[in-house]
């Protein structure tokens, strides 16, 4: 049975054809993967289905009836639910308070709470309704979003890059829930760049390229290589040469550092390491083991309770001191990486203005020419330099930040999950860029992606419960060893 049919959907934005006569079908009882390079039009298509955008052309059928979806409210009424990529809950309210909006007069009764609990349990998505949202991990927040969509009666569920914010264990939990929904006859659209996940969870896959559908395939009949070729039109071999660079001077020194988390608990408990110019120091670990707090402390954004952090010979106490020497690619790109309402030019200029100011005056023409070059060199797809950053696709926002943070060169670069949400080709470019920069820069890389850590790092510190459970040289590290250490098993080095 067909739940959704989108026929001949075309959507134009100034300067881009985001969807070009797209045909897409979702059946009952299937997980349908939606793949494509950054900017291919996946989110746009889903925004049309969810009533956020209206298509310029095309028709939508739900249960074989022609429908007009003018707003998310229309979509919800038709049984369409969406789990946003980054949870959109109110931080300062409890889970129950956040869910109260679903009920008449926003009232949450005991009976309703019971209903929520049993629904969550049924799908194996336990949530604590009394917890405050700010206390929850991103994975827990996403669970609340999934439950919210189900409470609204969604039979058609849109998940746009849902696993970006999840730990491997949370991914398993989500996939189990998706399987239960599929068995009940719901239809799920799974948008992702992670081919291994797409191959494991989906029944069919549709691939978009530059707004057009290039193929819809049975997942069982395809593989990573074919999907990559369909998406980018060529093969990509992810192999990197890490030529030895003689390490230069020490740029970052972390000395027996202790840092607290938001709840006042010890998140970092006595970490020490150094990073020299010419090396990539990788921090591996499952999310939530203190990586976030450590990085914030290094960037001067979080108080160091004990110990010292020294960048370029200066002890860091404020973000301003950090910025003098260092660049930062944060993982919360929309929140910390860009100012969404400012233009692409302004966002690029945030760190460039110093170079273009002469005696306090900024040479706008020079700045604009330089920004144009960056847009070209880093392949940032944008209608113009004046377009606001929020109009860019997720991958292009990541490129903008990479361009801004690396174009000028810096002594220290901190890259946190630098390839989250990037398509295969862009992931490849970012990794090559990091390796290229390493000649002149000390790089601190934080990633949960084991392959990435192993491919790029000269040394690897594995974080577990606020400490390094071990630090390995690249040539003594392998996936099994690092994987075990990430789970808390101390492994002899050497
Ligand atoms: N509101 C908007 N205004 C102008 N252009 C937009 C708007 N939304 C999307 N676009 C453009 O439409 C194209 C498709 O974007 P979309 O977000 O659908 O891509 P995507 O496939 O989801 O990419 P990613 O994998 O990077 O998330 C991009 O070129 C994007 O810049
Ligand atoms: Mg998208």
User: Tens place of pLDDT for every residue, the chain, 494 residues?
Assistant: 899 999 999 999 988 899 999 999 999 999 999 999 988 999 999 999 999 999 999 999 999 999 999 999 999 999 999 998 777 888 888 998 888 878 777 777 888 888 899 999 999 998 888 899 888 877 888 999 999 999 999 999 999 988 876 777 788 999 999 999 999 999 999 999 888 899 999 999 999 999 999 999 999 999 998 999 999 876 666 677 777 778 899 999 999 999 999 889 999 999 999 999 999 999 998 878 999 999 999 999 899 999 999 999 999 888 888 888 899 888 766 667 788 889 999 999 887 766 777 777 777 888 899 899 999 998 898 989 999 998 888 888 888 998 998 888 889 999 998 888 788 888 888 898 899 999 889 999 998 888 899 999 999 999 999 999 999 999 899 888 888 888 888 776 54
* Ligand 1 atom closest to 14 (CA): 4
Q: Total structural domains in the chain?
A: 2
CA 391 to chain centre: 17
Ligand 1, atom 2, residue with closest C-alpha: 391
Contact 282, 457 (CB under 8 A): yes
Angle between the N-to-C axes of helices 394-406 and 424-437, in degrees from 0 to 180, rounded to the nearest 10: 10
- Mutate which of 6, 11, 16 for ligand 1? The one with the most ligand atoms within 8 Å of its CB, which is 16
pLDDT at residue 333, rounded to an integer? 67
Name the closest ligand to CA 423: 1
154 and 283 belong to one structural domain: no
d(CA 13, ligand 1 centre) in Å: 9
Ligand 1 mean position to 423 CA, how many Å?
14
Together in a domain, 85 and 206? yes
User: Any idea which ligand is nearest the CA of 398?
Assistant: 1
Q: From the alpha carbon of 382, which atom of ligand 1 is closest?
A: 31
Q: Tell me, yes or no, whether 492 lies in a domain.
A: no
Tell me, in angstroms, the distance from the centre of ligand 2 to residue 363's CA: 35
Q: Give 8's DSSP letter.
A: E
Same-domain status, 279 and 314? yes
Residues 217 and 267 in one domain: no
Asked if the structure places residue 243 within a domain, the reply is no
Instruction: Say how many Å lie between the CA of residue 69 and the centre of ligand 2.
Output: 20
Q: Ligand 1 mean position to 306 CA, how many Å?
A: 45
The residue whose CA is least distant from atom 8 of ligand 1 is 391
In a domain, 494, yes or no: no
Say what the pLDDT of residue 256 is.
97
Give the rounded distance of the alpha carbon of 443 from its chain centre: 20
Task: Please state the atom number of ligand 1 nearest to the C-alpha of residue 421.
Answer: 25
**Co-location of 109 and 62 in the same domain:** yes
Pocket test for ligand 1, best of 20, 35, 43 (most atoms within 8 A of CB): 43
Q: Do residues 211 and 319 share a domain? A: no
Look up the domain containing 130 and give its range: 2-232
The ligand that comes nearest to the alpha carbon of residue 41 is 1
Please check whether residues 308 and 216 belong to one and the same domain: no
- Residue ranges around ligand 1 (CB below 6 Å): 13, 16, 18, 36, 38-44, 381, 391-395
Q: Tell me, what's the pLDDT at 493?
A: 55
Token readout for 230 is 């369909």
Between the CA of 341 and the centroid of ligand 2 the distance, in Å, is 18
Please identify, among 232, 259, 274, the residue that sits at the C-terminal boundary of a domain: 232
Residue of 393, 400, 422 with the most ligand 1 atoms within 8 Å of its CB, for mutation: 393
Whether residue 241 is contained in a domain is answered as no
The tally of CA atoms less than 13 A away on the side-chain side of residue 328 is 24
List of residues 6+ apart from 195 with CB closer than 8 A: 35, 224, 227, 228, 424
Separation of alpha carbons 442 and 413, rounded Å: 6
Do residues 325 and 312 make contact, with C-beta atoms less than 8 angstroms apart?
A: yes
pTM of the complete model: 0.80
Looking at ligand 1, which residue's alpha carbon is closest to its atom 31? 392
Looking at the CA of 210, name the nearest ligand. Answer: 1
Ligand 1 center to 2 CA (angstroms): 27
Q: Which of 9, 36, 38, 41 to mutate to test the pocket of ligand 1 (most atoms within 8 A of CB)?
A: 41
**Alpha carbon distance, N-terminus to C-terminus of the chain:** 58
d(CA 221, CA 11): 30
Tokens of residue 37, six digits = 């390079």
What atom of ligand 1 comes closest to residue 423's alpha carbon? Answer: 25
Q: Give the C-alpha separation, 304 to 104, whole Å.
A: 47
If asked whether residues 328 and 455 sit together in one domain, one would say yes
Does residue 133 sit in the same domain as residue 255? no
- Ligand 1 centroid–CA 309 distance in Å is 40
Name the domain boundary from 205, 232, 259. 232
Last residue of some domain: 186, 201, 232?
232
**Nearest ligand to the CA atom of 49:** 1
Q: How far is the CA of 31 from the centre of ligand 1 (A)?
A: 23
**What is the 332 CA–ligand 2 centroid distance (Å)?**
15
Per-residue confidence (pLDDT) for residue 341, from 0 to 100: 86
> Do 222 and 313 fall into the same domain?
no
pLDDT for 492 equals 64
Measure the CA–CA gap between 379 and 399, rounded to whole angstroms: 7
Q: Are residues 259 and 224 in the same domain?
A: no
User: What CATH number does the domain containing 211 carry?
Assistant: 3.40.50.300
Name the residue with the closest Cα to ligand 1, atom 18. Answer: 41
Whose tokens are 């970052």? That residue is: 252
| C-alpha span between 406 and 328 (Å, rounded) | 9
Angle between helix 394-406 and 364-377 (nearest 10): 120
């Amino acid at each position: 049975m067909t739940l959704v049919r989108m026929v001949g959907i075309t959507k134009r934005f100034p300067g881009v054809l985001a969807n070009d006569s797209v045909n897409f079908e979702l059946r009952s009882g299937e997980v349908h993967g939606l793949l494509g390079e950054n900017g291919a039009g996946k989110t746009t298509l889903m925004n049309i289905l969810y009533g956020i955008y209206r298509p310029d052309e095309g028709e939508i059928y739900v249960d074989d009836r022609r429908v007009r979806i003018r707003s998310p409210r229309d979509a919800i009424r038709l049984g369409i639910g969406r789990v946003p990529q980054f949870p959109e809950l109110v931080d300062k309210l409890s889970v129950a308070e956040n869910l109260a909006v679903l009920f008449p007069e926003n009232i949450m009764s005991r009976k309703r709470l019971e209903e929520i609990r049993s629904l969550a349990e049924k799908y194996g998505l336990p949530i604590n309704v009394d917890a405050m949202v700010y206390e929850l991990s991103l994975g827990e927040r996403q669970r609340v979003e999934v439950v919210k969509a189900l409470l609204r009666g969604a039979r058609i569920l849109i998940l746009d890059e849902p696993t970006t914010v999840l730990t491997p264990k949370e991914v398993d939990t989500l996939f189990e829930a998706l399987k239960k929904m599929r068995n009940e006859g719901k239809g799920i659209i799974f948008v992702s760049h992670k081919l291994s996940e797409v191959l494991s969870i989906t029944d069919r896959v549709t691939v978009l390229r530059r707004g057009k559908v290039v193929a819809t395939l049975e997942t069982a009949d395809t593989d990573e290589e074919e999907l990559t070729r369909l998406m980018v039109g060529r093969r990509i071999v992810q192999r990197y040469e890490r030529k030895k660079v003689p390490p230069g001077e020490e740029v970052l020194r972390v000395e027996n550092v202790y840092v607290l988390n938001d709840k006042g608990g010890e998140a970092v408990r006595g970490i020490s390491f150094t990073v020299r110019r010419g090396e990539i120091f990788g921090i591996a670990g499952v999310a939530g083991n203190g990586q976030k707090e450590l990085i914030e402390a290094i960037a001067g954004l979080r108080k160091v309770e004990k110990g010292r952090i020294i960048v370029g010979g200066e002890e860091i106490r404020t973000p301003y001191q950090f910025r003098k020497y260092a660049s930062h690619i944060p993982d919360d790109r929309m929140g910390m990486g860009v100012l969404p309402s400012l233009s692409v030019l302004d966002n690029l200029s945030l760190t460039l203005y110093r170079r273009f100011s002469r005696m306090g005056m900024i040479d706008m023409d020079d700045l604009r020419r330089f920004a144009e070059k960056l847009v070209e060199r880093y392949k940032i797809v944008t209608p113009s330099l004046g377009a606001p950053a929020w109009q860019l696709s997720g991958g292009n926002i990541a490129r903008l930040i990479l361009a801004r943070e690396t174009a000028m060169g810096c002594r220290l670069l901190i890259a946190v999950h630098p390839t989250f949400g990037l398509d295969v080709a862009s992931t490849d470019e970012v990794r090559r860029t990091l390796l290229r920069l390493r000649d002149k820069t000390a790089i601190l890389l934080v990633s949960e992606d084991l392959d990435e850590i192993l491919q790029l790092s000269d040394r690897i510190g594995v974080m577990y419960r606020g400490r390094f459970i071990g630090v390995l040289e690249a040539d003594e590290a392998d996936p099994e060893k690092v994987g075990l250490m990430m789970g808390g098993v101390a492994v002899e080095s050497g």
